[in-house]
């Protein structure tokens, strides 16, 4: 569906991208297609229609799957956001580095400017680079000491991103403002911003003391501190004025910035890390999505995510750059229903399984925590309408895409990231020999094409502080055979019957831990 705009674009693109000029060149040849990573938040393996979702339609994602390859054995590196994003953007497992757990909104930037990132990789290959949406990797140089009314001492712009328009942490954590190139967007000099995760500011209402002010959402657990837009959050905040976001406009704001960025960079190779806030709590999507589902706010957040995908796909068509753009769609970790707000997510599921029937969910060792949707589209290069069972992990995206663009990774950087380009492009069913997954208590698991090994760890079998999720924490080793139904559902622990296999996988973990 190339438009006439597309044709006028073609010569310029061919000049810029010699490898693509030869239409027959195989995908693995060096090339510089645009890359858009649409990275959802807490979107589960079963949350999209093409992965079996019920009670919500996701036509744009369906289209992406129909025009690309949909993976059934793709993994995030961790069952929570910060470590997952850290690994994705650095090609280094977060569990190697301290301070990489779920970050507060006043955390110092976890990635250091000298650290090699996905954005550095693309930039060294001549790409324009941008990070939009949820960041959650800290900002500034010292935790709790940021001056939100000045330029922050450290931001994604110090990590290889030319442009950034981000939320500091999560929508449920202060500060509730967007930050553009290291400065609060729409900063309001009449309402200077102060943030604390220790104590409230005198006179500021909180969800705990002023539940009458919670006109949009009330907490089910935690989330009872600063109130912004009738929703109480984690952390205290003062000021903000016209810079404060309205939750119902967050997705549109991110999508609008994506449209502008893609349009402005359509004539050169660009990398866009498009991290949506959907479907994380507080779920308060725009009203126009609420009639699209019978699952209430969580279903509407999924529909809203789909609308962002639709906006991107339509724009690529109208700019005529769809054929020269790899779109990758995935999620940072598995799903959760009640994650701290009374939004009826649990009550309205009505037969929908956010994990697609997998055991556990966000935070946990089980597959529900880290097996995530993954769809890749690159017209003419990635097989269309195919499903791939290849074992793939987000840890390998950096090195794989470097092998595509020809970027040279500095010695020692992105050391956990392996070249898995053909698997990620759906060109081979042979994926990684193993991938490692981290639960929120730091227990690690090893997945191979056949097995899932969960190392022994301490902790309650169900999350004790709110979400009702099985953790998979057990003092004994667990081994699940993915080729049997009971193993696939992680119901039948065959570790006692398979000591040699259990040992072999434990040894992989031990050897990985010895690496620097």
Q: Restricting to residues 172-211, name those near ligand NG6 by CB under 6 A.
A: 172
* Residue 170 binds which entry of Ca ion, ligand NG6, none, CB below 5-8 Å type-dependent: ligand NG6
Minimum CB distance to ligand NG6 smaller for 110 or for 423: 110
| Contact pattern for Ca ion over residues 321 through 350, marking x by CB under 5 A | -----------xx-----------------
Measured from the CB of residue 459, what is the shortest distance to ligand NG6 in angstroms? 15
Residues 394-403 as b or e (16 or more Cβ within 10 Å = b):
bbbbbbbbbb
Q: Would you say 332 and 345 are in contact if contact means Cβ atoms under 8 Å apart?
A: no
In angstroms, rounded to a whole number, what is the distance separating the alpha carbons of residues 78 and 57?
Answer: 27
Q: Would you say 274 and 132 are in contact if contact means Cβ atoms under 8 Å apart?
A: yes
Minimum CB distance to ligand NG6 smaller for 43 or for 327: 43
HSE, side-chain direction, 13 A CA sphere, residue 291: 1
Q: Which residue is nearest to Ca ion (CB)?
A: 81
Measured from the CB of residue 426, what is the shortest distance to Ca ion in angstroms? 25
* Residue 490 binds which entry of Ca ion, ligand NG6, none, CB below 5-8 Å type-dependent: none
* Residue 288 binds which entry of Ca ion, ligand NG6, none, CB below 5-8 Å type-dependent: none
Task: Tell me phi and psi for residue 332, to 5 degrees.
Answer: -80, -25
Residues 78-116 as b or e (16 or more Cβ within 10 Å = b):
bbbbbbbbbbbbbbbbbbbeeebbbbbbbbbbbbeeebb
Minimum CB distance to ligand NG6 smaller for 182 or for 235: 235
Contacts for 358 with CB less than 8 Å, ≥ 6 apart:
45, 46, 334, 366, 367, 368, 371, 489, 490
Measured from the CB of residue 316, what is the shortest distance to Ca ion in angstroms? 26
Q: Is 81 in the site for Ca ion (CB under 5 A)?
A: yes
In angstroms, rounded to a whole number, what is the distance separating the alpha carbons of residues 233 and 236?
Answer: 8
> How many residues lie near Ca ion (CB under 5 A)?
5
Q: Is 466 in the site for ligand NG6 (CB under 6 A)?
A: yes
Instruction: Pick from 41, 101, 106, 158 the residue near Ca ion by CB under 5 A.
Output: 41
Q: Is 337 in the site for ligand NG6 (CB under 6 A)?
A: no
Instruction: Pick from 102, 185, 384, 509 the residue near ligand NG6 by CB under 6 A.
Output: 102
Measured from the CB of residue 70, what is the shortest distance to ligand NG6 in angstroms? 23
Which part of the chain contacts ligand NG6 (CB under 6 A), choosing from 2-10, 106-114, 298-306, 333-341?
Answer: 333-341
Instruction: Pick from 73, 80, 90, 100 the residue near ligand NG6 by CB under 6 A.
Output: 80
Q: Is 81 in the site for ligand NG6 (CB under 6 A)?
A: yes
- Strands 386-388 vs 69-71: parallel, antiparallel or unpaired: parallel
> How many residues lie near ligand NG6 (CB under 6 A)?
17
Q: Would you say 77 and 436 are in contact if contact means Cβ atoms under 8 Å apart?
A: yes
Give the CA distances from residue 192 to residues 174, 182, 239, 468, 507, in Å, rounded to whole numbers and listed in that order: 14, 16, 5, 39, 53
Give the CA distances from residue 109 to residues 82, 120, 311, 396, in Å, rounded to whole numbers and listed in that order: 11, 16, 31, 23
* Residue 102 binds which entry of Ca ion, ligand NG6, none, CB below 5-8 Å type-dependent: ligand NG6
Token match 């690690």: residue? Answer: 444
Applying CB under 6 A, which residues contact ligand NG6? 41-42, 80-81, 102, 136, 170, 172, 221-222, 234, 280-281, 333, 339-340, 466
């Amino acid at each position: 569906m190339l438009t006439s705009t597309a044709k006028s674009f073609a010569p310029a693109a061919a000049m810029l991208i010699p490898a693509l000029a030869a239409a027959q060149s195989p995908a693995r040849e060096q090339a510089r297609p645009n890359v858009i990573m649409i990275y959802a938040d807490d979107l589960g393996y079963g949350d999209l229609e093409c992965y079996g979702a019920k009670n919500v339609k996701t036509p744009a994602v369906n289209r992406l799957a129909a025009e690309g390859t949909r993976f059934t054995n793709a993994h995030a590196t961790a069952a929570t956001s910060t470590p997952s994003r850290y690994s994705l953007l650095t090609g280094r497992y977060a569990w190697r580095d301290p301070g990489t757990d779920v970050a507060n909104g006043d955390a110092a930037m976890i990635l250091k400017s000298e650290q090699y990132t996905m954005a550095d990789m693309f930039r060294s290959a001549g790409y324009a680079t941008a990070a939009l949406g949820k960041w959650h990797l800290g900002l500034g140089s010292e935790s709790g000491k940021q001056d939100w009314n000045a330029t922050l001492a450290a931001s994604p712009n110090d990590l290889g991103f030319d442009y950034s328009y981000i939320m500091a942490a999560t929508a449920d954590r202060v500060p509730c403002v967007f930050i553009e190139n290291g400065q609060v967007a729409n900063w309001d000099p009449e309402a200077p911003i102060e943030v604390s995760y220790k104590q409230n500011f005198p006179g500021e209402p909180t969800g705990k003391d002023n539940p009458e002010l919670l006109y949009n959402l009330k907490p089910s657990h935690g989330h009872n501190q600063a109130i912004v837009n009738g929703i109480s959050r984690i952390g205290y905040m003062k000021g903000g004025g016209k810079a404060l976001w309205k939750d119902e406009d967050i997705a549109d704001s991110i999508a609008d910035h994506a449209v502008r960025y893609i349009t402005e960079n359509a004539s050169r190779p660009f990398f866009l890390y498009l991290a949506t806030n959907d479907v994380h709590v507080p779920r308060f999507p725009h009203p126009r999505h609420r009639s699209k589902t019978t699952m209430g706010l969580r279903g509407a957040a999924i529909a809203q995510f789909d609308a962002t995908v639709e906006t991107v796909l339509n724009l690529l068509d109208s700019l005529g750059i769809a054929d020269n753009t790899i779109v990758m769609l995935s999620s940072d970790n598995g799903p959760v229903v009640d994650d701290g707000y009374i939004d009826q997510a649990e009550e309205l599921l009505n037969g929908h399984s956010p994990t697609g029937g997998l055991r556990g969910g966000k935070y946990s060792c089980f597959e529900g925590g880290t097996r995530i949707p993954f769809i890749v589209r690159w017209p003419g290069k990635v097989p269309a309408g195919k499903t791939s069972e290849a074992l793939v992990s987000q840890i390998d995206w950096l090195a794989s895409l470097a092998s595509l663009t020809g970027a040279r990774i500095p010695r020692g950087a992105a050391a956990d990231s392996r070249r898995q380009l053909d698997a990620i492009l759906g060109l081979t069913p042979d994926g990684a020999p193993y991938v490692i997954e981290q639960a929120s208590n730091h227990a690690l698991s090893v997945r191979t094409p056949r097995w899932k090994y969960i190392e022994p760890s301490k902790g309650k079998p169900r999350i004790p502080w709110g979400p009702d999720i099985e953790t998979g924490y057990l003092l004994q080793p667990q081994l699940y055979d993915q080729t049997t139904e009971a193993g696939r559902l992680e119901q039948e622990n065959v570790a006692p019957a398979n000591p040699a296999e259990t040992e072999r996988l434990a040894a992989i973990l031990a050897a990985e831990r010895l690496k620097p």
